[in-house]
Amino acid sequence: MISGAPASGKGTQCELIEKKYGLVHIAAGDLLRAEIAAGTENGKRAKEYMEKGMLVPDEIVVMMVKERLLQPDAQENGWLLDGYPRSLSQATALEDLGIRPDLFILLDVSEEVLIERVVGRRLDPVTGKIYHLKYSPPENEEIAGRLTQRFDDTEEKVKLRLKTHHQNVEAVLSIYKDVIFKVNGDAPIEDVFAEIDKALSSILEKKSRTASSSMAAGIIS
């Protein structure tokens, strides 16, 4: 599982993890949209709530996540659950279903850096490309002149989003305290991934040692 505040670089790290380890990347939001588009039972129920402007109840989303994690690709290759669970009730529901990660990656980024990353973000409405005024500025004046800012990418809105995020994460951490791996997300992308990579490699080594010793035990017995 991976958790990080808005603009913590979580999306980028998910791509890097998926590419190197072949894990099935599952984001609850994407899953929800896919189920609604496919018209599944869960999707239909979720759509009813969304059309009324209500939050989709935990039990529906938890069932979607559970069913996705039980698919053959996730069972064979392992999974990377992105930005979920977000509350104690969601985490408890997953625990009750016997769903627990080997590692809970927490991208820890200072509020100052997060605000700077979000407030400087700009969108090119023509190409859909995301720029940042400081970190990845537009290539030319023409593009610079047409860039727009998302309505909620203001300092005030970001602070509210961060407050909600921190409250949710605090509640979830108590469930996963023995598998939490905290990474300094203020560092450059490559350095953050190097830390995550090290932690995942060590888990894989332990798993393969356990598997080979249990095979050996099977042969001996």
Active site residues: 10, 86, 121, 150, 161
Q: Is 63 helix (H, G, I), strand (E, B) or coil?
A: helix
Torsion of CA 88, 90, 92, 98, to 10 degrees: -150
- Separation between Cα atoms, residue 102 and residue 178, nearest integer Å: 10
| Residue 181 in tokens | 């791996």
Q: In what order do the strands lie in the sheet with 2-4?
A: 24-27, 79-82, 2-4, 104-108, 180-184
- Separation between Cα atoms, residue 100 and residue 53, nearest integer Å: 31
